[in-house]
Amino acid sequence: MAAGHPHPFTAEQSLQRLKEGNERFVNGLARFPTVQKEVLAELAKGQQPHTTILGCSDSRVPPELVFDASFGELFVIRVAGNVLGPTILGTLQYAGLHLHTPLFVVMGHEGCGAVDAAIASKFHGVAQRSRIETLLENIVPALDDLDASQPHEALLHAAVEANVRHTVQTLLDTPEAQARLEEGKMKLIGAVYDLESGRVRFLD
């Protein structure tokens, strides 16, 4: 997409497409079991995704399926625990500057193993291998205000949401996000996927 061209979707329209797609997915009415060759040929000319998603690498949470989205609709970044890092930030910056996606979603999921490991590290002193520890360092700060005395299932539920909110806030604090928000053309929102129901809960 050439710079300066208006994006065909607003942030609100993009969010509505995600909600409608997740509803079709939950109800077993997904639209895209196959993709026509003509569609692939057209997409080969360029991409114009309506949403950028930073999600977890968990194999049970593929955003394209969860939102019943076809080729070219979503620009997806996946990393364990949906955490930030230099390369993730660079990819998000690319999505904003070159793809101009109006909607950015940070999507965690219930029962996240990375968040669970961060809980074990912070509250129980459990050590991990060095590179996993580096990953957890991005999650642990999000857990500061949690009540560690609550039942583990409740703690993990709260921690997953806290991690998503922490990542969203970190992104909101970047100069790039502030500039795009001032333009009024971009929306950044958190979400949590439920593994059992398939439902995505968008956070206010």
Instruction: Measure the CA dihedral 8/12/13/14, to 10°.
Output: 80
Instruction: Give the separation between CA 139 and CA 96, rounded to whole angstroms.
Output: 24
* Residues 6 or more apart in contact with residue 8 via CB below 8 angstroms: 48, 50
Each residue of 159-179: pLDDT tens digit? 999 999 999 999 999 998 999
For the chain, the average pLDDT equals: 93
Q: Whose CA is closest to 107, among 77, 86, 135?
A: 77
Q: What is the pLDDT of residue 64?
A: 95
pLDDT at residue 91, rounded to an integer = 97
Structure confidence at residue 2 (pLDDT): 38
Residues of the chain with pLDDT under 70: 1-5, 33-34
pLDDT reported for residue 3: 45
Question: Rounded to the nearest 5 degrees, what angle is found at the Cα of 198, between the Cα atoms of 137 and 103?
Answer: 65
pLDDT number for residue 1: 32
Q: 123 with 151: CB under 8 angstroms?
A: no
In this predicted structure, what is the pLDDT of residue 157? Answer: 98
Q: Which residues contact 100 (CB under 8 A, 6 or more apart)?
A: 1, 5, 7, 185
Predicted pLDDT at 113: 98
